Structure 1
Amino acid sequence: MEYRTLGTSDLKLSAITFGAWAAGGWMWGGTEQNDAAKAIQSAFDYGVTSIDTAPIYGMGHSEKIVGEAIKELPRDQVQLVTKYGLRWDATDGEFYVNSKDNNGKDISIYKNASKKSIIKECEDSLKRLGTDYIDLYQIHWPDVTTEIQESMEAVAQLIKDGKVRYAGVCNYSVDQLKEANTYVDVISNQVPYSMVNRGIETDLVPYTLEHNMSILAYSPLQRGLLTGKMKAGHVFAEGDHRKGLAFFKDENIKQTAEFLDKLKPLAEAKNASLSQLVLRWTIEQPGITIALAGARNAEQSISNAKSIDVKLTTDELQFINKALEKVKLDV
């Protein structure tokens, strides 16, 4: 495994970090707790020491699974990355979305990054994770009802109290990142990025490179679209959030599959899967420090971890990028 330092901190994460959204079941059609825990432990055996989760993933379920999974692991060798700012158990803040929990119960989710809410969420996360500190604590989504100053100063206090090591953000624009960084040292921004979703290259990547901040790329496999396993007409399970998303329109699936077909000879030459090739490409891109890769069982997590063994030359990266230029998804 490769380990990369976030920003100017001394926090190192595994270049492939375990993404625990799907492990929580919410919006992914349920989960099997034992399989998810084994996935985390198996990833650790292959050098994936960093785990990204959030309270909203299964309404605390993902964090509990992570907490159970790391009980047998040395805490000082595990980096716990979690979030705050999405509440399903209170109605203060900005309404975000109506959803259902893992039991099918209707819930309403609110963005709330007030100081009071952050302090409570941190305590709840520490209990679920079974730890006394969080390595990287990130706002999940911008909250228009709370000043950025209030949110960041709350995290700064948690850092001072020893409950959080470093502050990060998710889904922040350059302007929001600039403001946040005036109140606390923000070392990273977690944003969506994949071969077919590269909008951040215009402004966010140049800014973070200039200011020595890190980008944690989520959905690098575009939620399964870039695995090579999806065909037009794919039927999603009940409760799977991907149903109806623009990326998964038949024409987009078809076009992506045609692009991936061009990569198959390269993947085969590397003795790698398409997913492994895609993950390796992702962490080779300028400004991308970490790729978050989700898994719901040990087989998937080991496969993700082994993507680090794929080596791509400059010519091979150029070949991939040239093939990508012809992909024009309707999203």
Structure 2
Amino acid sequence: MANRKLGTQGLEVSALGLGCMGMSEFYGETDEQESRRVLDRALESGITFYDTADMYGSGRNEELIGPFVQKNRDQVVLATKFGNRRGPNGEYLGISGRPEYVREACENSLRRLGVETIDLYYQHRVDPDTPIEETVGAMSRLVEEGKVRYLGLSEAAPETIRRAYAVHPISALQTEYSLWSRDVEDGILPICRELGIGFVPYSPLGRGFLTGQIQSPEDFAADDFRRHSPRFQGENFARNLELVERIKQIAGEKNCAPSQLALSWLLAQGDDIVPIPGTKKIKYLLENVGALDVSLTAEDLRRIDEAAPQGSAAGLRYPESGMNTLNK
């Protein structure tokens, strides 16, 4: 698998990464044994970039992937995040970017992962009550101490990104981006490219919707958070199915899966883009890796843009409470 550069500080990763969140929470039933097989198979397939966060499973996700990272430390680029605080029972406690919390969160992540250094450390959500300069200043001290190699932000607004970069170079911005979430094209991608920051799209398959496998809200387990997502409810669901049908038609003509078309489209948006589709099944992992073999012509890209233009998805991408933490 080819590598791509994230930022201009020297970070290189596989063109496709692996999002590990669903292995521990949010998408229904989990199977740690199967997840470990997925991690091993991903590395065999050429994926070197693995994404987790301290909030996923309230730390359990870092503990799950820790042994895998330790075993393959010289091959794996490890990304984790801090900022979304949770209590002992998983309850959400808000966002923190306070300098003392940055250090505490990093130490806890290093302990759970069982490593000495985090390759890419993101602020998961911007803390509106702490100046970004103070947060990134604390993150930069972790770099100086060798506990972190590169810095990242997630769901940050253009001006926040600029202010952060003035304190310490930012190597990557992670924000939702897919054929049904294209708002980053207006202001966020341009500022990243101006400053030389790599872009890591999360939920590049629209939380599974762009795979074409989801036909009803009843397809979700009772504890699947998508049941509460506006895009998966009522009239929004029906309208979004129409969008997926248009993607499926083009994918059929290209003899590929809708998920592969969606990922190939993202990869074609620039060499500075590294999607991190998440999965907990080998079948879907291999399908995602197959996207790298899909070649899109200029006409293909035009038709895809026409089928899924910016703003075509119905509904907010999070419930209102979640939307209040984005683009800050």
TM-score w.r.t. the length of structure 2 is 0.90
Residue equivalent to 1:260? 244
Answering whether residue 85 of structure 2 is matched by residue 87 of structure 1, we say yes
Cα distance, 1:197 vs structure 2 = 1.1
How far apart are 1:164 and its partner, in Å?
0.5
Partner secondary structure for residue 153 of structure 2: strand
Residue 16 of structure 1 aligns with which residue?
A: 16
Contact 1:119 1:154 survives alignment (8 Å): yes
1:148-187 mapped onto 2 (5 Å cutoff): 148-187=132-171
- Given that residues 259 and 327 in structure 1 are in contact (C-alpha distance below 8 angstroms), is that contact kept between their aligned partners in structure 2? no
> Does the CA contact (< 8 Å) of 1:215 and 1:289 recur in 2?
yes
2:181 touches 2:311 (CA, 8 Å); kept in 1?
no
Q: Is the contact between residue 120 and residue 152 of structure 2 (CA under 8 Å) also seen in structure 1?
A: yes
Aligned to 1:5: 5
How far off its partner does 1:10 sit?
1.0
Q: Deviations over 1:77-122 (max 9, x none)?
A: 1100011112214xxxxxxxxxxx8xxx462322111121111111
Identity %: 31
User: Do the aligned partners of 1:18 and 1:292 also contact (CA within 8 Å) in 2?
Assistant: yes
Letter of the aligned partner of 1:21 in structure 2?
A: M
Cα offset for 1:126? 1.2
Q: Deviations over 1:42-87 (max 9, x none)?
A: 11111111001001000111111111223432x1211000111122
The answer for the alignment partner of 1:94 in structure 2 is none
SS of 2:181 mapped into structure 1:
coil
5+ residue gaps, structure 2: 316-328
Q: 2:250·2:304 contact (CA, 8 Å) conserved in 1?
A: no
The answer as to whether partners of 1:46 and 1:306 remain within 8 angstroms in 2 is no
Deviation at 1:184? 1.0
Name the CA distance, whole Å, in 1 between partners of 2:107 and 2:214.
40
Matched residue count: 315
Q: 1:242 to 1:263 in 2, by over 3 A?
A: closer
Tell me how far 1:323 sits from its aligned partner.
1.6
Query: What TM-score comes out, normalization by structure 1 length?
Result: 0.89
Distance in 1 of aligned mates of 2:44 and 2:310: 38
Shift of 1:261: 3.0
Written as runs of structure 1 = structure 2, the 5 A alignment for 1:1-331 is 1-25=1-25, 27-73=26-72, 75-89=73-87, 105=89, 107-286=91-270, 289-325=273-309, 328-331=312-315
Is the Cα–Cα contact under 8 Å of residues 231 and 254 in structure 1 kept in the other structure? Answer: no
Greater helix share, structure number: 2
Moved more, 317-326 or 257-266: 257-266
CA root-mean-square deviation = 1.9
- CA distance in 2: counterparts of 1:221 and 1:212, whole angstroms: 25
Deviation per CA, 1:110-138: give whole Å up to 9, x if none: 21111211111111111221211111100
Q: CA deviation at 1:39?
A: 1.0
SS in 2 for 1:34: helix
Letter of the 1:88 counterpart: R
Give, as a single letter, the amino acid of the residue that structure 2 aligns with 1:24. S
SS of match in other structure, 1:254: helix
Deviations 1:173-217 (CA, angstroms, capped at 9, x unpaired): 001101111111112111111111111111111111222111111
SS in 2 for 1:87: strand
Matched to 1:294, the amino acid is G
- Shift of the alpha carbon at 1:298? 1.9
The residue identity in structure 1 corresponding to 2:78 is: L
CA distances 1:127-160 after superposition (whole Å, capped 9, x unpaired): 2212111111000001122221221111111101
**1:137 and 1:327 mapped to 2: Cα distance?**
30
- CA shift, 1:24, in A, is 1.8
Contact 1:139 1:168 in 2 (8 A): yes
Q: Is the Cα–Cα contact under 8 Å of residues 19 and 294 in structure 1 kept in the other structure?
A: yes
